[in-house]
Structure 1
Amino acid sequence: MRLDLARLQELHLADLRSVGTAAAGVTERGPFRLEAHAPGIVRLTIGSRTLPDYGLVTASPEPCGVRLTPVPDGLLLAAGPLRATIVAEDFQVTLARNGTTLLGPPKDAHFRRRYRLPRFAATEKGFFLAIDLAEGEPVYGHGEKWSRLDHRGQWLVSWNEDALGVNAEASYKNCPFAWSPRGWGLFVNTPGRVSHGVGFAPLSHRSYALEVEDECLDLFLIAAADPAGILERFTWLTGRPGAVPRWSLGAWLSRAYYRDADEFLGAAAKVRELALPMDVITLDGRAWQDTRTRFAFQWDSRRYPEPRAVLGRAGELGFRVCCWEYPLVSVHNPAFAELAAKGFFLTDERTGDPWLHEWDPAPFGGVLTPLPTSGIIDFTRPEAWAWWRDRHATLFAAGVDVIKSDFGEQVPDSPYCRAWNGDRGPRLHNVYALLYNACVHEARERFLGQGLVFARAGWAGSQRYPVQWGGDPQADWGGLAASIRGMLSWSCSGNPWYATDIGGFYGGPPEPLLFVRWCQAAVFASHMRFHGLGEREPWLFGEEAQNLVRATLELRYSLIPYIERSLALTCATGVPLCRPMPLAFPEAREAHAFDTQYLFGPDLLVAPVLAPDGEVTVWLPDGVWWDWHELERHVGPKRLRLALPPDRFPLFVREGVEIPLAIPVQRTAEWGEGDIPLAAVRRFA
């Protein structure tokens, strides 16, 4: 734990010394400002920003009829239904909506001193603040986290890591944004590390404490009628989700890894032979590059002397091709010296040389080839950005359709690591993933007309650059459950894009039943991918599993008209495709404990099977719900305890809706452009 509790409990910001008519004042840590940024959003800043902000906030302020009124020892800022109050004593800031206080200073006193936690405090690396939590109040968001969706009681760190699994707090995609079903949200506008004590008992089970490692505190406070409204405001602020091409919604086939062209094309041909609907096949890291010199934008000529011919054959089999990359260049690459001379790598300030990333060989030994010492591309330098972007042209021209932009968590936590723009490792570390994926997204947009990536790491704003996948889960039932929670936590953080590794990444091969259940769960995400160390092709798990997977894939493709309709709403409003119970039904507190079930779009309720016995408990919300498989009518709210055979899984539909079902195809291109031809419209009445 980085937080020194005793130290923080003694550090306090100086009282606000003055509050002017423009809601501006001064603290000992620099200027203070409280302003209405837009309807439903109040912005609080302390200190001045001299370092880059990286455009995490994309929306300019909007007029919202601000009124300023003096109050005892402070000022009241009113904007529509919002009221923000700043009181000089102990620097108290309160946010209310329609007369209900949503956010305010912590109320837990201390026997020996006035307050257990300071409202605001200076720390060696930035700022500390604390807000009050109501008794039992849940808190959601924070990016991709694997444990309970309600983070009350947890200590979380917004810091991207190569987590090597889904079993601990560390994760690949973080976002310093949180919200409560009571109607408030907060976003720390920073690329730096943010630590969250969310009702964390060693600090205070009654308060939400944050430590922000940055030169200034830039905090957006959001208030809305419900969680959907909070996410609408947050994605308005940081960017709406981008659009994706239809073919990307089909199934993706991958493994780590296809060793040569024959194995790659053999898998593609087998898919068509067995009539398994799929659209994309992936060449992973070691599949097409020489590992010793990667990443080089060059094919391993020993295995791929004619890459255009190989990709052309994949196209003839009806596949789009995804190719792997990462933003590092081996010291053994012939281009390394040239790139270093141009200043295209992050540098070591002590020597002026490129900062060299040394890989920990432990995770790779015996499983994957160890990786070479490498330089890290500096995406803050415009010339380096343009070089990396434009090098993709040859890949796209050869027949590559999308890039799997792997890694992005390797910028070191060292003040000696320096970027071209003057920033250093600790502040660049998190936002590096956003810059990297924005560059690759821009490359595809420039050369193929529409941006798209398949990324592992992310930060606030990553919803603008779809798609992300969920890291490297263990190939067991716990890995499946954690992957679903990771997806839903990412959804709660304003990002609808997600795919899991069907079957799990490591610790396999998975048992056939787990493979089938994972595939069934994966249907109900924005994207669907088979991937893992070793074989993950459906025909390798037995005929029964293969047939069940085929039926599951056919269901996925039949639902693509519904998925497209739902994603159009997501891109317009920021409300995610996968909506966990606290987001979909904030008033139904009983539902919130069911944190692996969710709405898929507005009308389908999914509860993945997470145990080999097929037993699952489903909570049906208020209203009438129809069982998709059995056409049985249920009136909620109620619990259902089910024990289901391998060909059945909990899927329910709201009464009164129509679900369009596409005609069967083996790949989305068979539908042509425009509206998808329908085989039927299922009506649930």
Structure 2
Amino acid sequence: MKFTDGYWLMRDGVSASYATEVAETRVEDDRLTLYAPVRHVENRGHTLNSPLLTVECWSPAEGVIGVRSSHHTGGVDRGPRFALNSAPDHTPEITRDGSTVELTSGALSLSVDTEAPWRLDFRADGRPLTSAGRRGTGFATTADGEHHSLGQLALDVGELVYGLGERFTPFVKNGQTVDIWQADGGTASEQAYKNVPFHLTNRGYGVFVNHPGRVSYEIGSESVGQVQFSVPGQSVEYFVIHGPTPKEIIDRYTALTGRPALPPAWSLGLWLSTSFTTSYDEETVNRFVSGMAERDIPLGVFHFDCFWMRQYQWCDFTWDPEVFPDPEGMLRRLKERGLRVSVWINPYIAQKSPLFEEARERGFLVRRADGAVWQWDLWQAGMGLVDFTHPGARQWYADKLRALTRQGVDCFKTDFGERVPTDVLWHDGSDPELMHNYYTQLYNETVFQVLTEERGESEAVLFARSATAGGQQFPVHWGGDCESTFGAMAESLRGGLSLGLSGFGFWSHDIGGFEGTPTPAVFKRWAQFGLLSSHSRLHGSKSYRVPWDFDEEAVAVTRDFTRLKHRLMPYLYEAARQAAGHGTPVMRAMVLEFPDDPSCHTLDRQYMLGGDLLVAPVFSESGTVEYYLPEGVWTHVLTGERVRGPVWRRETYGFDSLPLFARPGSVVPFGASADGAVYDWADGVTLRVHEPADGDRVTTRIPAPDGSTAAVFHTRRDGDVLTVRAEGATGPWHVRLPGSPAEGTLLTAHPGTESLSARLD
């Protein structure tokens, strides 16, 4: 929200008050409290009839400093609040040096000169990070009497801002106004399904605004040298999180708000959907599944979208008996073909559903102030909204899902969760403005917990659309409703990269696009992109997404890239373990891996898949693509071509390929099987070695599908000699030296071999 009218004036009807100086400092229990008047106090009379801000500063974990600025503190905290994790043994240091007081947490410090004009200075190892200066701490009231608390942190020259959830607007957020407010707005607007009040910059820090409701950002857009964030109410709380690298920032942020769970290995295989409003029954499903098998396209998951239930009755959690008269038998037959099963749900109960009256009588639906159930006709006729703040409602909803898991359903697509009203009462008394964004957390947590209890922690996975801070704990998330065009494909990638920089480790999208029907060219290019994403799903709205509906080449592209993904499973699942352990996303914006290369800071049409593979999807009918390779000799994974960077390239690719390059010095493991996502990845693994420099040492961990470590390989180059040493390898393994996949020297180690050596050209 903008409060000022240019540099000098305020907007009509707006008044603002800002911390001016420090009147008093108090240190208690490792917490620094500053009392800040909003005017310069020259005499005792100036302490009357004027606000005094209370600014509390503390540290919940090393490298993290919290600031809470409050005007009036007598309000009632109705919740909800984000669940945050503090390091139990962490104690910050507070020191005084003359008029300067400093709070230090690891390398990060906050200092205040108590005798100077108001300024909060954040430094890391003595280097300035950012500061809250003249208008950096305060509050504003609007013409209609609304009270907003605000913070403002300085941007340095060349400083770029990223994150704030899955946003489809330009990747770099400088110059944008962003409202953290859940909306079902598709992928072609400034609205977002996944709003996260966390951003990071290319200057070594991030900022998390600890407010689950609306947070309004002005990112170099009201004051061009500042990031301003404001919230309705009497206080604003934020955390400055030091890196210095982007990976370390995300590591600390996800330690604070929650790490992503590790999805089951089978979920990384190919998902096929019935699509949304298409006509389908068991015969259609079997035709699709058989068609994939006949064309040698390995399929891992089959998804039933909305109309597995009867129309007008979503959700009643009951298979439409006219279309699926034997759901248990159908699910058993699909599982006999090696498939997992996903079904669509949402948190709404339509009035025609038999469950509506049951939920209404038991108080499980959100109500208006007069006690009536909140209802509307948008989406489902007369639908109500499940009140997940009610323990009984959560249990009731969960029991409906348990019945499905016991029929044979493996996972749920948790659609919606954004259209949450604010003119309602919640069972636990939560503030409806705060619950609008937070609702998705309770919804997805409820469903994820059912799967954890019914299937086990290692088997739980969602396909979720909405999320907020902390939602990364319940993967996987997909990009939502996009058009079937190259432009929509590019905007989807922007959203996914922004979400990855907001702490979400796993992300997917609808291959081919959702709205409309893609051209064969769009489908084939999107299939390449989708199968080089963490999770891969074929899904549409009014048309099917089976590849033979497009052309025979689409079949070949889908088959070849599905099989390539399966060969990459030991590499991809290790990246998944990194996401679960540190929050590092599987699909990584270039700035995340190359923070010291300025050319990477704005790139949003290419990404790193894990730490060692660069992917540049093709977004054009002609097959022409522009991409950038950072420093070093990069190797094309499919052709073996070697290219020295840094360099920009413009090339044209056929549908059988795209820019897919291995990082200089990387060792990328390829599994021995392409027939499915889950197999013994260590047995027969091939380590592809790419342009190691003299003295390089690389450790390659091969996970097992259960998330444990199956084998570890240590690769080193000394002069012209490359040596690979194995730990825990029980089967044969291979090393492919630099060169094309067909021509590079292949060394084979028989079971029990602990080391291989070879001379490099």
Task: State TM-score, norm by structure 2.
Answer: 0.83
Q: Which residue number in structure 1 is paired with residue 744 of structure 2? A: none
Residue pair 1:562, 1:660 contacting (<8 A) in 2 also? yes
Give 1:431's match in structure 2, choosing from 423, 427, 438: 438
- Kindly report which structure 2 residues correspond to 1:627-666, keeping only aligned pairs within 5 A, or say none: 627-666=636-675
The one-letter amino acid of 1:446's match is E
Residue 70 of structure 2 corresponds to residue 50 of structure 1: no
Residue 53 of structure 1 deviates from its aligned partner by: 4.1
2:495 and 2:681 map into 1 onto residues whose CA distance is: 32
CA deviation digits over 1:133-168, x for unaligned, max 9? 1123100110001132111111111111111x2111
Residue 705 of structure 2 corresponds to residue 684 of structure 1: no
Q: Which residue number in structure 1 is paired with residue 718 of structure 2? A: none
CA deviation digits over 1:398-422, x for unaligned, max 9? 111100000000111x3x3111121
Residue 266 of structure 1 deviates from its aligned partner by: 1.8
Give 1:20's match in structure 2, choosing from 21, 26, 51: 26
Give the 3 Å change call, closer, same or farther, for CA 4–344 of structure 1 in structure 2.
farther
Give 1:41's match in structure 2, choosing from 58, 64, 72: 64
2:4 and 2:332 map into 1 onto residues whose CA distance is: 58
Residue pair 1:177, 1:185 contacting (<8 A) in 2 also? yes
Residue 340 of structure 1 deviates from its aligned partner by: 1.6
Residue pair 1:538, 1:546 contacting (<8 A) in 2 also? yes
Residue 459 of structure 1 deviates from its aligned partner by: 0.4
Q: Which residue number in structure 2 is paired with residue 121 of structure 1? A: 139
Q: Which residue number in structure 1 is paired with residue 486 of structure 2? A: 477
1:439 and 1:153 map into 2 onto residues whose CA distance is: 37
Residue 60 of structure 1 deviates from its aligned partner by: 4.4
Give 1:521's match in structure 2, choosing from 508, 529, 549: 529
Residue pair 1:84, 1:93 contacting (<8 A) in 2 also? yes
1:677 and 1:510 map into 2 onto residues whose CA distance is: 39
Give 2:207's match in structure 1, choosing from 181, 186, 197: 186
Residue pair 1:184, 1:223 contacting (<8 A) in 2 also? yes
CA deviation digits over 1:619-649, x for unaligned, max 9? 1112221111221222221112211112110
Give the 3 Å change call, closer, same or farther, for CA 275–338 of structure 1 in structure 2.
same
Q: Which residue number in structure 2 is paired with residue 80 of structure 1? A: 106
Residue pair 1:151, 1:198 contacting (<8 A) in 2 also? yes
Residue pair 2:341, 2:409 contacting (<8 A) in 1 also? yes
Residue pair 2:593, 2:608 contacting (<8 A) in 1 also? yes
2:396 and 2:260 map into 1 onto residues whose CA distance is: 26
Residue 332 of structure 1 deviates from its aligned partner by: 1.7
Give the 3 Å change call, closer, same or farther, for CA 258–679 of structure 1 in structure 2.
farther
The one-letter amino acid of 2:167's match is K
Residue pair 1:39, 1:62 contacting (<8 A) in 2 also? no
Give 2:270's match in structure 1, choosing from 251, 262, 266: 251
Give the 3 Å change call, closer, same or farther, for CA 519–50 of structure 1 in structure 2.
same
Residue pair 1:64, 1:80 contacting (<8 A) in 2 also? no
1:238 and 1:607 map into 2 onto residues whose CA distance is: 31
Q: Which residue number in structure 1 is paired with residue 126 of structure 2? A: 99
1:29 and 1:289 map into 2 onto residues whose CA distance is: 58
Aligned residue for 2:132, secondary structure, equals coil
The one-letter amino acid of 2:471's match is S
1:168 and 1:198 map into 2 onto residues whose CA distance is: 18
2:641 and 2:496 map into 1 onto residues whose CA distance is: 29
Residue 86 of structure 1 deviates from its aligned partner by: 3.4
* Cα RMSD for the two superposed structures: 2.0
Give 2:602's match in structure 1, choosing from 576, 585, 593: 593
Give the 3 Å change call, closer, same or farther, for CA 65–17 of structure 1 in structure 2.
closer
- Kindly report which structure 2 residues correspond to 1:380-419, keeping only aligned pairs within 5 A, or say none: 380-412=389-421, 414=422, 416-419=423-426
Give 1:550's match in structure 2, choosing from 555, 559, 581: 559
Q: Which residue number in structure 1 is paired with residue 756 of structure 2? A: none
Give 1:565's match in structure 2, choosing from 574, 578, 590: 574
1:345 and 1:578 map into 2 onto residues whose CA distance is: 38
Give aligned-pair identity as a percent: 32
Residue pair 2:309, 2:315 contacting (<8 A) in 1 also? yes
Residue 19 of structure 1 deviates from its aligned partner by: 1.5
2:629 and 2:86 map into 1 onto residues whose CA distance is: 38
Residue 562 of structure 1 deviates from its aligned partner by: 0.6
Give the 3 Å change call, closer, same or farther, for CA 308–204 of structure 1 in structure 2.
same
Give the 3 Å change call, closer, same or farther, for CA 356–90 of structure 1 in structure 2.
farther
Q: Which residue number in structure 2 is paired with residue 262 of structure 1? A: 283
CA deviation digits over 1:148-200, x for unaligned, max 9? 2111111111111111x211111111100001111111001111111111111
Give the 3 Å change call, closer, same or farther, for CA 314–215 of structure 1 in structure 2.
farther
Q: Which residue number in structure 2 is paired with residue 151 of structure 1? A: 173
Q: Which residue number in structure 1 is paired with residue 346 of structure 2? A: 326
CA deviation digits over 1:442-469, x for unaligned, max 9? 0111111133211000000111101100
Q: Which residue number in structure 1 is paired with residue 86 of structure 2? A: 59
1:274 and 1:218 map into 2 onto residues whose CA distance is: 56
The one-letter amino acid of 1:337's match is E
Q: Which residue number in structure 2 is paired with residue 367 of structure 1? A: none
2:35 and 2:137 map into 1 onto residues whose CA distance is: 16
Residue 213 of structure 1 deviates from its aligned partner by: 2.8
Q: Which residue number in structure 2 is paired with residue 448 of structure 1? A: 455
1:636 and 1:567 map into 2 onto residues whose CA distance is: 28
1:535 and 1:584 map into 2 onto residues whose CA distance is: 37
2:306 and 2:35 map into 1 onto residues whose CA distance is: 52
Aligned residue for 1:668, secondary structure, equals coil
Q: Which residue number in structure 2 is paired with residue 137 of structure 1? A: 159
The one-letter amino acid of 1:82's match is L
Residue 590 of structure 1 deviates from its aligned partner by: 1.6
Residue 9 of structure 1 deviates from its aligned partner by: 6.8
Aligned residue for 1:520, secondary structure, equals helix
Aligned residue for 1:104, secondary structure, equals strand
Residue pair 1:21, 1:68 contacting (<8 A) in 2 also? no
1:331 and 1:600 map into 2 onto residues whose CA distance is: 45
Query: Greater relative contact order: 1 or 2 (C-alpha under 8 angstroms, separation 6 or more)?
Result: 1
Give the number of aligned pairs.
654
Q: Which residue number in structure 2 is paired with residue 237 of structure 1? A: 256
1:665 and 1:628 map into 2 onto residues whose CA distance is: 16
Aligned residue for 1:147, secondary structure, equals coil
Residue pair 2:212, 2:434 contacting (<8 A) in 1 also? yes
Give the 3 Å change call, closer, same or farther, for CA 353–473 of structure 1 in structure 2.
same
CA deviation digits over 1:57-109, x for unaligned, max 9? 1334541441321553x632123322202356664222111111111025xxx
Structure 2 spans left out of the alignment, 5+ residues: 37-50, 692-761
Q: Which residue number in structure 2 is paired with residue 365 of structure 1? A: none
1:31 and 1:211 map into 2 onto residues whose CA distance is: 17
Aligned residue for 2:405, secondary structure, equals helix
CA deviation digits over 1:528-560, x for unaligned, max 9? 011111111111111122112211111111111
Task: State TM-score, norm by structure 1.
Answer: 0.91
Residue pair 1:277, 1:557 contacting (<8 A) in 2 also? no
Q: Which residue number in structure 1 is paired with residue 475 of structure 2? A: 466
The one-letter amino acid of 1:520's match is Q
The one-letter amino acid of 1:231's match is I
1:584 and 1:357 map into 2 onto residues whose CA distance is: 46
2:495 and 2:16 map into 1 onto residues whose CA distance is: 35
Residue pair 1:347, 1:355 contacting (<8 A) in 2 also? yes
Aligned residue for 1:357, secondary structure, equals coil
Residue pair 2:79, 2:434 contacting (<8 A) in 1 also? no
Aligned residue for 1:562, secondary structure, equals helix
2:299 and 2:582 map into 1 onto residues whose CA distance is: 29
1:545 and 1:31 map into 2 onto residues whose CA distance is: 62
Q: Which residue number in structure 2 is paired with residue 195 of structure 1? A: 216
Residue 252 of structure 1 deviates from its aligned partner by: 0.5
CA deviation digits over 1:204-241, x for unaligned, max 9? 21111111235531211111221111111101111111
Give the 3 Å change call, closer, same or farther, for CA 592–25 of structure 1 in structure 2.
closer
Give 2:16's match in structure 1, choosing from 7, 11, 26: 11
